[in-house]
């Protein structure tokens, strides 16, 4: 990957003149079944550009209660787009068309205008949950019926594709726009793409500059994304298998509770049930043993497998947990 980056042909991407970025954008548009795509520095920026392009200040976006754009984008939906969020409660991050329909505001002068629905596939805080294709289609159809823009936060869409055996284009086809992260499981150091119609992407290109996301000789980063798409997609199945093995090993330890059946991709959530021990304390103890995990609540840990985690690392992690309980 670093060799590809070093050898990348570059230009000025703010003016659309970087040939490697253009190759990546065309490749991703085809992969996702959209007319065009835009390379951006991060998944957060991709989602925020979609929100701002679909809405005006004072509008409302509907998303699941644990959505990334609601919890983990530093309040950008409100701060940058002036858009408020209405949440719906899903099951491990997945909600249905009925829930969306109930959340859409009536056309009344006192209410904000509902303009957007966002789904997250896979769903991070749902534990890497893969949305069923038919549920996606029904949600998108409901959005169309009410004149809403539909956006898929597909940061981990390739995980969903590999786990379900479904082409990314089929997962995204019903949605007006979709983001895809090239880092995370795919292993590029930087970057995401946002795909949609040519008109939509042209609007987001201008917004990208407004939000400070325009980059000059970005081909060195785009080359990493192209390499990741060529070499790191099929191997995601290895991450999924290791996450399942990790979950099974942790579930066998006293003082921990793991829903092994809920592990569909590369994310494992662990509930700390040991008396007198909380998640932040266990996180610190594990770090002292060389294992990095994230405490996401008083008694909840989040673990993620990726291309830098091998079988030996699983054994190290399980031994560290056993020694810390």
- The CA distance from 180 to 153, in Å, is 7
CA distances from 221 to 31, 147, 242 (A): 19, 36, 28
- The CA distance from 168 to 33, in Å, is 8
Fold adopted by 236-324: 3.90.1150
Structure confidence at residue 253 (pLDDT): 98
CA distances from 29 to 25, 38, 79, 113, 252 (A): 6, 9, 29, 30, 44
CA distances from 213 to 20, 41, 119, 191 (A): 17, 7, 23, 11
**pTM here?**
0.96
What is the CATH class of 2-231?
Answer: alpha beta
Q: Which of 310, 192, 289, 298 is nearest to 246 (CA)?
A: 310
Structure confidence at residue 264 (pLDDT): 98
Within 10 angstroms of residue 129's Cβ, the number of other Cβ atoms is: 24
Structure confidence at residue 180 (pLDDT): 98
The partner residues of 246 in beta bridges, in order of sequence, read none
Structure confidence at residue 129 (pLDDT): 98
The domain ranges of the chain are 2-231, 236-324
Which parts of the chain have pLDDT scores under 50? none
Structure confidence at residue 8 (pLDDT): 98
- The CA distance from 81 to 163, in Å, is 34
Structure confidence at residue 231 (pLDDT): 98
Q: What is the pLDDT of residues 220-274, one digit of tens each?
A: 999 999 999 999 999 999 999 999 999 999 999 999 999 999 999 999 999 999 9
């Amino acid at each position: 990957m670093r060799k590809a980056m070093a050898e990348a042909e570059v230009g000025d991407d703010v003016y659309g003149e970087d040939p490697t970025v253009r190759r990546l954008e065309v490749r991703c548009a085809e992969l996702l079944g959209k007319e065009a795509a835009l390379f951006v520095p991060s998944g957060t920026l991709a989602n925020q550009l979609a929100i701002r392009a679909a809405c005006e200040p004072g509008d409302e976006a509907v998303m699941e209660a644990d959505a990334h754009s609601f919890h983990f984008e530093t309040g950008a939906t409100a701060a940058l787009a002036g858009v408020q969020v209405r949440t719906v409660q899903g099951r491990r991050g997945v909600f249905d068309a009925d829930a969306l329909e109930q959340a859409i505001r009536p056309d009344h002068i006192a209410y904000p205008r509902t303009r957007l629905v966002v789904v997250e596939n896979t769903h991070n805080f749902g534990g890497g949950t893969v949305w069923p294709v038919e549920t996606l289609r029904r949600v998108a159809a409901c959005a169309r019926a009410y004149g809403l823009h539909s956006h898929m936060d597909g940061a981990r869409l390739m995980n969903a594709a590999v786990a379900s055996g479904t082409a990314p284009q089929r997962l995204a086809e019903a949605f007006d726009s979709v983001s895809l992260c090239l880092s995370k499981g795919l292993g590029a150091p930087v970057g995401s793409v946002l795909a949609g119609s040519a008109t939509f992407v042209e609007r987001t290109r201008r917004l990208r500059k407004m939000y400070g996301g325009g980059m000059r000789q970005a081909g060195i980063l785009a080359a990493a994304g192209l390499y990741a798409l060529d070499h790191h997609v099929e191997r995601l199945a290895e991450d999924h298998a290791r996450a399942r093995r990790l979950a099974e090993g942790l579930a066998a330890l006293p003082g921990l509770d793991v829903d092994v059946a809920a592990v569909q991709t590369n994310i494992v959530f662990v509930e700390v049930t040991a008396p007198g021990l909380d998640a932040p304390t266990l996180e610190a103890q594990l770090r002292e043993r060389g294992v990095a995990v994230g405490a996401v609540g008083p008694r909840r840990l989040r673990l993620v497998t990726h291309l830098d985690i091998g079988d030996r690392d699983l054994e190290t992690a399980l031994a560290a947990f056993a020694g810390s309980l």
